[in-house]
Each structure stands twice: as structure tokens, then as C-alpha cells.
Amino acid sequence: GITEEELRAKYDIPVELNDAVVAYIRFFQTDAREHFSRWLARSTKWLPSMHGILEKQGVPVDLVYLSMIESGFNAYAYSPAKAAGLWQFMVGTSRRYGIKTDFWLDERRDPIKATEAASKYLKDLRERYHGDWYLAWAGYNAGEGKVDKAIRRESTRDFWRMMTKGRTLRAETKHYVPKLIAAALIAKHPERFGFHVEYEEPFDSDEVVIPDATDLKVIADAAGISVEKVRELNPELRRFCTPPGEFTMRLPKGSKDQFAANFEKVGPEERLRFTQHKVEKGEPLAKIARAYGVSEAAIMRTNGLKSYRQVKVGKVIVIPVGKASRGLLAGAQLEDRRGRGYAQARTPVQKSVAAATAAAVRAKDAERMSIKHAVYVVKPGDTLWGIAAKFSTTVARIKRLNGMSGRRGRGLQAGQRLSVPEQS
């Protein structure tokens, strides 16, 4: 057993043993035992960094157990109500505390930024309810409006009275506070409650600045790690690449120097190249694809589109171009499927297909001048696709180098001479 005095001595949040709390302790020990064991195992990954942030913000460090019951300490947790991350923020609430959610990033999944935002939100809730943490936690779960309404309707600020006799708060919110207390009690005394788990290593990393949008595979190779490890350390990333512009990302502790040395050897054109385009009237997807020299399928995969009908006037779409984007042409998926939903890209865009075409012409001229070419003599049975594969390039690039478009690009004749990028 555990006494009330022991409880009060070991926590900096209010805890008490009552029937509702005991019921949740038994639930975690029985029906939810497997789930709770996983939560405990993951807890050590996040507790050290969370404790430091909460302490810096001037709120109790034991508020980490709110994250435990919200997400099970899973940075990728995503609820049916579209809350996300360790602290299960809704988009609207998170934006009030400086969290960005757009096409490229969902910072609700950033363990550091989300914890900073959650600590500020909880501090505001504590002040709103005059230091009453039970009401603050209820407000975190249900929203301030619901708790305010319960206080007015039931003429009380006693959470336990609202729970047992009130009719305003939902059952989920009524159970939220005892659930949090039960989780905190077990998490600090797991063996006494019959839990024996293998704990994960603490989340520890080096930070590096990526100068512009870069494929995660390029970053992983430079750091000597897997793409999965890059994603694990940077769960806020929604795509297969970092966002446009400078981006600070985390790599395993001790890998910073190796990454810097290897990344320096990777030319900008090898990292990633894409642009963005705002769809205007009279611009079907096929026309846009031709203007940029990429396939319609690549554009659809890049933007997570399932139908051509989704390409509407005014929509901003991302266009994969250049050497490092070839994986998309071969069928790679840009979207990180662990993140859901899409937001509009906000960086500068090409104004029209006409502007895009002009840009493509300039790019074609520059390419002809700067890249070494070889001459390939077409053999019977050759196709543009087969030649492109042989020279590790794309059909669109061969067409650009040889001024081929429309019908002229559909057929090849034996003996025809083509310029192709020289293999290094």
C-alpha cells in the first residue's frame, strides 16, 4: 500500500486517493496493463527534457503525466478529433502558443516546442482557475468554455462535486482528473504496483542547421543513420524533405561533425529542387506538368492528390524538379503518412503557366551550357524511357536537352543522335 502522506511528499501536483482514482489504478493494472507498460517504457525517453522545460516555465514538473494520459508519450499520436503530438494539441489552441502547422511541418509533434507550448497553456489555465489544478486539467481536456459553464451552472468550483453530481462536464472530462492522478501514482512507483518494464534511452541529440529544403535520405546518408532515425528525432516533419529555407533539425548525439563533413560534399543540386505553383484559370494538370517537364503522377504524389479534380484555381501545388527529386518520378511518396491532412504552402509561388514556361526555358538554356553531354545513337527498339534509365536521368531532361516536345518527343528512329547527360 501507499499512504496519503507519502503521496503528498513525492509530488508537486495535487494527488489524492479516492474511489475514482483507485478505480483507474486497477484499470491500468488489469485491462489496460499492456498499454500502460508501453507508456512507462517510453516515459524515460521524454521525462528529462520535459522536466527541464516545465521547470523553466515555472510549472510543476509532474505535469508530465498529463502528456502520459494524452498520448502515451507517443510523439506521433493522432486522435479522431485531430489532436496531435505528445500533448495532443488541437490546431487552434496550439497556434495561440506559437506552434506552426502547415504543408511542411506539424510542430505539435515537436517534443520541445510542444512541451513549451503546453507548459504555457497550463500556466494560463492555472491562473484562470485561481491555482486549482483539477479545474485546470479539466479545462485542458474539455476547453475553458466547458469548465466555465460548469462553474456557472453548478455554482461550485469543487471539481469532485462537478464529477459526482454535476451534469455539465462530459464523462471523459470527469474521468480525466482521476485518470491523471492514477497514472502519476503508478509511474513514480511502478514496482509497487506490479509493473516491471524495460525503459527507453533518454531523447538526446545534436542540432544542425539545414540551409534549404533537403531530402531526408541525403541528410541520413551524411549523418550515417537511417531515414527512420531522422524521422524519429524530428517527428514534426510531414514530408520526405525539410521545408524551404533554413531549418534546425536534430541528429543523434555525437554525429554533428560527421554530418557537417559529409553534407559539405553534397552539391545544392543533389539535395533537392522544387518550386511552387499557383493554379490559374485554364491550367489543367497536364499543362502544368508539361510546363515544368515533370509527370502528372509526380505532381499528384508530391501533393498527396488522389484526383485531378483537386487541382483547382487558386490552389498552391509543389512541383518536384531537378536531380534530387527523381525518386518522386520513380514513385516515392512525399507525404509522411504518419501525419495527416494538408495545409497550403506559404512560400512565394510562380504566378502562371506562362511564367513557369519562361522559367523552364531559362533552366533549359542553363542546363545546356553547364552540363557535360554525351551523344547517344538510337538503336532499333530504343525508347526514351529506356535511354533515360540507362543514363540515370529522366525522359523530361532528355527532351529538354534535345528540344523535343509534343509529337516530336513520342517517336524515335534508329540512327537518331541524342544529347544525354554524361555519366560521372
- Catalytic status, residue 207: no
Catalytic residue among 6, 70, 172, 246: 70
Q: How many CA atoms lie within 13 A of 35 on its CB side?
A: 12
First to last CA, the chain: 72
Q: Are β-strands 316-321 and 273-278 bridged in parallel, bridged antiparallel, or unpaired?
A: antiparallel
Q: How far apart are CA 75 and CA 237, in angstroms?
A: 12
20-51 burial, b at 16+ Cβ within 10 Å, e below that, comes to bbeebbeebeeeeeeebbebbbbbbbbbebbe
Catalytic residues: 70
